[in-house]
Amino acid sequence: MIAAIAWRNIWRNRLRSSIVIAAIALGLFGGLFSIAFMEGLADQTLKTAISQYLSHIQLHHPLFQDNEELMYRISDADSLVKQLTCVPVVAAAARRYRIRAMASTANGNAGVEILGIDPEIERTITTIHEKIVAGGYFNEARRNPIVIGGRLAEKLKVGPGRKIVLTAQAEDGTLIGGAFRIAGLYHTGNSLIEESQVYALNRDLSRLLELPEEESHEIALLLKDPDQLTAASGLLAARFPELKVETWREIAPELGVLQGYMQQMMFLFLVIVLIALAFGIVNTMLMAIVERTRELGLLMALGMKRMRIFVMIMLETVFLSLTGGATGMAVTAAAIRFTSPHGIDLSYFGEGLSAMGYAARICPQLDEIYYLALTIMVILTAILASIFPARRALRLQPAEAVRIE
């Protein structure tokens, strides 16, 4: 009975109630869609890093990551890769040589990191083969083919088919250089990677620097279930104690910091939205009580208990908030569903985003748990915000209230 009266009361002034509901819906939409955008940005940045160069887990010689010296290699890497692919949690494994070098042409030079790979096995770990925009992915049987980033090609003013000289330090400290021919250019949208990462055949790099072809500097792994990252890392560390096992969180801690920052920003947005919601509710209900002072006085004079009036005011507040909240969440869900498949094109800011390692197209996403959590938070905020107006109504004196015109 009280609930029905409360529901009718909020529609007695349709214009004001509609404005309040629209304001709540707009506020929630702005907050939730911003959270979805940041969630999509963080998730896309992480997935891009994992699929293009990080992988989920990497194995190295215990001293390699600290020094990156040629001597710190994994012996019999081929056999180890076969063992790793038989581990139930591992989806794919690939070995690589990783060497810092200088890339030079007649037009300039740049410091790079060469990854010596087996192209067919590398396909199972990274998506670089899908990012080729000119030339091919080691498709031609040329001597010493390499694949470089589009940004590096622009910097050195070269393209597919052109030669480039790579100079690196051998294990004995001498400098060794070799001529390589560019097989293809890749584009990832991450200028940091495109300017520094070069892919060469493992056998060519081994021959140039006189390294054992069956050895490697690192083994990259993809997991069947990325959520089992910590458990898989512990399992592999116990199984291969002679190697250093690191997850992407340990290799690139800045990505973990980004995720933490995004979560803090999400929380801040929610707090701002809920505070604005609370102030809007208090203001609206105070206005409603002032306008209905005579009505509330008459109800008290006719015998309605103050507690029932208190509950009625609270229910009106909750109904207003839930209606606005449901509208806002429905609009947000529709907007995310519309924009998520193709993403939001930010190519106007593409240069700046690329320089920071972000893609120029962001796909908003929001876990369902956010909708449930926000529903609960809206209800709690509405209840707390309704206490002050409801207490104001309880202080009304029936005799004085009925005389107000």
pLDDT band at 353 (very low <50, low <70, confident <90, very high): low
User: Which of 189-193, 358-362, 388-392 is the least confident region?
Assistant: 358-362
- The mean of the pLDDT values for the chain is 82
* Integer CA distances (angstroms), 111 to 99, 169, 188, in order: 11, 13, 19
- Of residues 387 and 399, more confidently modeled: 387
- Over range 247-258, report the average pLDDT: 80
pLDDT band at 400 (very low <50, low <70, confident <90, very high): low
Is the pLDDT at 152 greater than 80, yes or no? yes
pLDDT, position 359 = 63
- Of residues 225 and 344, more confidently modeled: 225
Tokens of 361: 């197209």
Q: What are the tens digits of pLDDT across the range 99-145? A: 999 999 888 899 999 999 999 999 999 888 888 999 889 876 678 89
Is the pLDDT at 59 greater than 90, yes or no? yes
Is the pLDDT at 352 greater than 60, yes or no? no
- Of residues 153 and 31, more confidently modeled: 153
Is the pLDDT at 200 greater than 80, yes or no? yes
pLDDT, position 244 = 92
- Over range 190-210, report the average pLDDT: 87
pLDDT, position 141 = 60
pLDDT band at 148 (very low <50, low <70, confident <90, very high): very high
Decide: 118 and 204 in contact? Cβ < 8 Å.
no
The two counts, helices (H) then strands (E), for the chain are 16, 12
Q: Which of 223-237, 296-310, 314-328, 358-372 has the highest mean pLDDT?
A: 223-237
- Over range 372-380, report the average pLDDT: 77
pLDDT, position 145 = 92
pLDDT, position 268 = 80
pLDDT, position 1 = 67
N-term to C-term CA, the chain: 28
- Of residues 295 and 37, more confidently modeled: 37
pLDDT, position 44 = 79
Please name the amino acid found at residue 167.
T
Is the pLDDT at 254 greater than 80, yes or no? no
pLDDT, position 285 = 74
Is the pLDDT at 338 greater than 80, yes or no? yes
Residues listed for the chain: 405
pLDDT, position 396 = 63
pLDDT band at 19 (very low <50, low <70, confident <90, very high): confident
- Over range 38-63, report the average pLDDT: 84
The stretches of 139-190 forming alpha helices (DSSP H) are: 150-156
Specify burial of residue 295 (Cβ count, 10 A radius: 0-12, 13-18, 19+): middle
- Over range 368-378, report the average pLDDT: 78
pLDDT, position 312 = 80
pLDDT band at 355 (very low <50, low <70, confident <90, very high): low
Specify burial of residue 28 (Cβ count, 10 A radius: 0-12, 13-18, 19+): buried
Q: Where are the domains of the chain?
A: 2-49+256-401, 62-242
Cβ contacts of 266 within 8 Å, gap of 6 or more: 35, 38, 39
Helix axes 253-291, 368-394, angle to 10 degrees: 30
Is the pLDDT at 390 greater than 60, yes or no? yes
The residue behind tokens 């015109």 is 405
pLDDT, position 171 = 83
pLDDT, position 309 = 76
* Percent of the chain residues past pLDDT 70, beyond the cut: 89
pLDDT band at 287 (very low <50, low <70, confident <90, very high): confident
pLDDT, position 97 = 92
* Integer CA distances (angstroms), 195 to 148, 155, 334, in order: 8, 8, 39
